[in-house]
Amino acid sequence: MEREHGATLTHIVVLPYPLQGHINPMLQFSKRLATKGLKVTLLTPKSIVKSMKGQASSVTFEPIDDDDDDSGELITAETMEAYDERFKAMFSHGLEGLIEKNNSYGYATKLVVYDCILPWALDIAKQHGIGAAPFITQSCTIAAIFYNLYQERFTLPLQEPEVSLPSLPLLRIDDMPSFISQPGLYPFLLKVCLEMYHNFHEVNWVFCNSFDKLEEEVVSWISSQWPIKNIGPTIPSMYLDKRLKDDKNYNLSLFKPNVDACMKWLDSKDTGTVVYVSFGSMAALGEEQMEELALGLKRSNRYFLWVVRESETEKLPTKFIEETTERGLVVTWCPQLEVLSHKAIGCFMTHCGWNSTLEALSLGVPMVVMPQWSDQATNSKFVMDVWKVGIRVKVDDKGVVTREEIELCINEVMGEKGEEMKRNTLKWKKLANEALDEGGSSDKNIEEFMAKIVQI
Helix (H) or strand (E) holding 303: strand 303-307
Q: Which of 22, 66, 351, 375 is catalytic?
A: 22
Q: Quick check: is 93 catalytic?
A: no
Helix, strand, coil shares of the chain, percent, nearest 5, are 45, 15, 40
Angle (CA) 269 270 272, round 5°: 110
Active-site residue, from 68, 69, 93, 115: 115
Name the E strands within 106-254. 109-115, 131-136, 162-163, 171-172, 206-208, 228-230
Which amino acid, residue 46?
K
Residue 115 annotated as catalytic: yes
What H or E segment, with its residue span, contains residue 390?
strand 390-392
Residue pair 363/345 in contact by the 8 Å Cβ criterion: no
Distance CA 120, CA 418 (A): 46
- Neighbouring-strand partners of residue 162: 172
What HEC string does 266-279 produce?
Answer: HHCCCCCCEEEEEC
Q: Cβ(361)–Cβ(389) under 8 Å?
A: yes
Q: What residues act catalytically?
A: 22, 115
